[in-house]
Amino acid sequence: MTHRSMHSKFLASSLASLLAVPALFAGAITLLSPDVARAAVNEAACRIHAVEASQKGDGTIPAELNFLADQLQAPEFARYKGFRLLDAKDFKLKLGEVVDQKFKSGHNVKLTLLGGGKDKLELHTKLERGGSSLVDMDFMVGSNQIMLIPVRRGDQAIIFAYQCKG
């Protein structure tokens, strides 16, 4: 019985090895495939809008901010009744390179393309004001999806609306 048990173990491990080799080759071929290589993102274009949100106002969203209306009327921004577009900047990103722009609000936005795939971009942003870092984070966003990052300023907030495509 011991002999048979050893024989079974040997066959089982041999079979597992034989099945693992094709799986390894299939994985390598998938990674080296041109379709996967084409899916990698090396460049992206982003537009970031800086929106001032205040507690004073009638809740009307200005026409130039209609594309943000659903997000600005969400519960997390319910305390704000007035919205004003302060600035909009375009960022041309290349993989791994930091692009730094100063907004009229006095904030500096640094944005870096970390990578991405077919419909998603992986980005790093750093928001600063007066030499102080307010936000420093990595995030993933769908192509043309809008990501809002609010920063408080007294009773107001400056909301940075990121929209990128690869």
Determine the pLDDT at residue 93.
Answer: 98
pLDDT string in tens for the chain (166-residue length):
555 555 555 545 544 444 444 444 444 444 444 444 445 899 999 999 999 999 999 999 999 999 999 999 999 999 999 999 999 999 999 999 999 999 999 999 999 999 998 899 999 999 999 989 999 999 999 999 999 999 998 889 999 999 999 8
- Comparing CA positions, the residue from 24, 22, 20 lying closest to residue 12 is 20
Determine the pLDDT at residue 46.
Answer: 98
Q: What is the C-alpha separation between 92 and 71, in angstroms, rounded?
A: 25
Determine the pLDDT at residue 3.
Answer: 54
Determine the pLDDT at residue 154.
Answer: 86
Determine the pLDDT at residue 150.
Answer: 96
Q: Identify whether the C-beta of residue 139 lies closer than 8 Å to the C-beta of residue 147.
A: yes
Determine the pLDDT at residue 153.
Answer: 84
Determine the pLDDT at residue 19.
Answer: 46
Determine the pLDDT at residue 39.
Answer: 52
- The HSE-up count of residue 155 (CA atoms within 13 Å, CB side) is 7
Query: From the CB of residue 155, how many other CB atoms can be counted at a distance below 10 Å?
Result: 11
Determine the pLDDT at residue 5.
Answer: 57
